[in-house]
Each structure stands twice: as C-alpha cells, then as structure tokens.
Amino acid sequence: MAHFERISRTVLHEWVLWRLVQSRFRSPRGEEFVRTYVESPGATGIVPIRINAHNQYEVVMVRQYRPAVDAYCLEIPAGMRDVAGEDPQDTALRELQEETGFTSTDVRPLGQFLQSPGISNAEVQIYLAVGLTEVAMERHGPEEDDMTVEVLLLDEALRMIDTGEIINAMAVVGLLRADRLLRAESAFGK
C-alpha cells in the first residue's frame, strides 16, 4: 500500500513551546501539496476523584478564564508538557497540585488522544487520580490566580457533558474514560 511522504519541512515561526510548520507532501497518487500546522510538546490532563460520605464519586474540577474563547471553562486540571524530560504522569500530578492543591499516590493512565489533528500534532495524555491528599497550591499566572476549584458529583459532571455545560475536549474525554474505568473496576470488585 502506498503512503503519504513528507518531502520538506520548514519552521515558519517559533514561540514559547510551539512551532508553526509548513511541509510539502506527496500523496499515494503522486500529487504534491503543502500543509501548515502547529507542532506542540503536548499536554496532560488528570481526573481527580474522591469518594464522599455517601459513597459517591466526586470529581475535582477547575473553572478558568480562557482568552481564546473569551469565556470561563469548566475543566479537569491540565497543562502543557513544558518541562523537558518530565514524565507525562509527573506533569499531570504537578498540574493537579498547582491548580487544585491536591495530589495522589493512586494514578492510573486513561490513554491519550489528539486534540485537533487537522491543525496540530498536540497529543494529550490523561490520567485518573484517586485517594486525594491536600497539599500546598502553586498557581502561576493571572488566569490561574482567578481560577476556582469546584467539586461535583461525577454523575453531575457527566450530565453536564450531555447538556453542553462542559465542552472542553480534555474534560469530556477524561471524565468519560474515568467513569468507564471506575464502573469496570466496580463491576469486578476492585
């Protein structure tokens, strides 16, 4: 089977952690074409879960102002992979502490996904954290200084996905995958 082939790659612009790249490709049929996209170091997200007095799952989320959409978004703790060589799980735990003041020693991978493969190679690694412990919060920047921490029943957060109140892709994927894993573990008595 024939494949697409990259013929050339040119970095048009670099800023902070990202690169704007233009590449020339050859299609399996031999047609040449150019595409411009953003290269990213990727990000991590973490779904912090605790069990309340009624034996229900609660999820710790953050509400943060996002300049790109000029709105507040309800999200799971997350951040860019901005420390060279840092393990993605360590990045997720660092973001959990910075944004919510919690940490966990019980962290489980929930997989990865591409945020927007039509315009970027940005890949998100997501995790589930259970058995939360309070620690010092270490926020950075004006958006995080204004951020609020919100604790919801997991079932309520899932309902908010259905009603469109939670539309952040990382939160949607993370919450749905966390719910699926927790239900599977409950079914098998874990």
pLDDT at 30: 95
The predicted-structure confidence for 102-120, as pLDDT tens digits, reads as follows 999 999 999 999 999 999 9
Nearest to 63, CA basis, from 79, 74, 77: 74
pLDDT at 24: 97
- CB of 74 within 8 A of CB of 150? yes
pLDDT at 189: 62
Looking at residues 117-133, what average pLDDT do you find? 95
- Please report, rounded to a whole number, the percentage of residues in the chain having pLDDT higher than 70: 98
* Residues linked to residue 156 through DSSP beta bridges, in sequence order: none
pLDDT at 146: 82
State the pLDDT confidence band at 41, using cuts at 50, 70 and 90. Answer: very high
Catalytic residue among 14, 144, 150, 156: 144
* Residues linked to residue 35 through DSSP beta bridges, in sequence order: 23
Which contacts qualify for 115-121: CB closer than 8 Å, 24 or more apart? 115/43, 115/169, 115/170, 119/37, 119/38, 120/37, 120/38, 120/39, 120/40, 121/37, 121/38, 121/39, 121/40
pLDDT at 143: 72
The predicted-structure confidence for 3-29, as pLDDT tens digits, reads as follows 999 999 999 999 989 999 999 999 999
For residues 73 and 146, give the distance between their C-alpha atoms in angstroms, rounded to a whole number: 12
Computed over every residue of the chain, the mean pLDDT equals: 93
The answer to whether 75 is a known catalytic residue is no
For residues 113 and 59, give the distance between their C-alpha atoms in angstroms, rounded to a whole number: 21
- Please report, rounded to a whole number, the percentage of residues in the chain having pLDDT higher than 90: 83
DSSP string computed for 128-183: EEES-EE------HHHHHH-EEEEEEHHHHHHHHHHTS---HHHHHHHHHHHHHHH
- pLDDT(151) > 60: yes
- pLDDT(141) > 80: no
Q: Look at phi and psi of residue 141 and say left if phi exceeds 0, alpha if psi is from -120 to 50, else beta.
A: left
pLDDT at 137: 81
Better pLDDT: 146 or 101:
101
Q: Enumerate the domain spans of the chain.
A: 5-39, 43-187
pLDDT at 117: 93
pLDDT at 156: 98
Structure tokens at 93: 């735990």
- pLDDT(190) > 70: no
Neighbours of 18 (CB within 10 A): 15
For residues 6 and 44, give the distance between their C-alpha atoms in angstroms, rounded to a whole number: 28
| CATH of 43-187 among 3.90.79.10, 3.30.360.10, 3.40.710.10, 3.30.530.80 | 3.90.79.10
pLDDT at 2: 74
DSSP string computed for 37-95: EEE---EEEEEEEEE-TTS-EEEEEEEEEETTTTEEEEE-SEEE--STT--HHHHHHHH
